[in-house]
Amino acid sequence: MIKNLYEAYAADKIPEKHFTELLKGYDTEQTTLDSEIEKLQAEIDRYNTDSVRADKFIELVKRHTEFTEFTPALLNEFIEKVIVHEAVKINTKRTMKVDIYLNFIGKFELPEWEDEQEPIRTSTKKLRRDMTEEERTRERERDRKRYAEKVAAKKAAEQAERMAILQGTAYEIKPDRSGEGEVAKIA
């Protein structure tokens, strides 16, 4: 286009004023396009670098999908660095920000809690540390009773299972007066 413009100017088909304005416009457009090409090339290079790093991280994860022990060597393969920030006290709770940088992918962001101060509690039960001594004693006694009931139910289930297994055999269990039952050999 610039060549055609110059040829038209040289042949006196367009005035010098128009030639200068059109040439200036083409130069501006060329400069804009060159800078855009540089930006896009930088973006492509960054994408390719990120892609290679992501591929390396995926390869590392695939290599260690079924590990049986969490060793320091395994930890060192995944984590590049850990930055622990100074502790801050908020509403009588001490909190500390920790940044974890994984190899090949950089800083790892943990998902945020909905309420950043304290995780959501699903139970409304009062914690024992917040109870009075009398409440704790009642809770312990209730726990002892529940445990005894659970053990008794388990023993009864085992006894019923034994009776079901031996029923109709020569060693059928016949309950005695105490309810415990005794093995009676049927002749």
Looking at the structure, tell me whether residues 6 and 36 fall in a common domain: yes
Along the chain (187 residues), what's the average pLDDT of each consecutive run of 10 residues?
A: 74 78 85 92 86 82 77 82 88 85 81 58 72 90 94 92 80 61 50
Task: Note whether 87 and 95 are within 8 A (CB).
Answer: yes
pLDDT at 34: 92
Both 52 and 92 in one domain: the answer is no
Residue 30 inside a domain? The answer is yes
What is the predicted pLDDT for the residue at 41? 92
Query: What is the DSSP pairing of strand 106-108 with strand 173-174?
Result: unpaired
Q: Kindly state whether residue 24 falls inside one of the protein's structural domains.
A: yes
DSSP 121-180: P---PPPGGGS-HHHHHHHHHHHHHHHHHHHHHHHHHHHHHHHHHHTTSTT-EE--TTSS
**Assigned domain for 115 exists:** no
- Domain interval for residue 91: 72-108
* Predicted pLDDT of residue 187: 45
Provide the pLDDT for residue 97: 86
Q: 92 and 133 share a domain?
A: no
- Cα Rg for the chain, rounded, in angstroms? 40
Q: Which residue has the tokens 């509690």?
A: 121
Domain count across the chain: 3
According to the model, what pLDDT value does residue 155 have?
94
Asked if residue 92 and residue 58 are part of one domain, the reply reads no
Please name the residue ranges forming H helices in 64-104: 72-78
d(CA 172, CA 187): 11
User: Would residue 170 count as lying in a domain?
Assistant: yes
Q: Are 186 and 172 in contact (CB under 8 A)?
A: yes
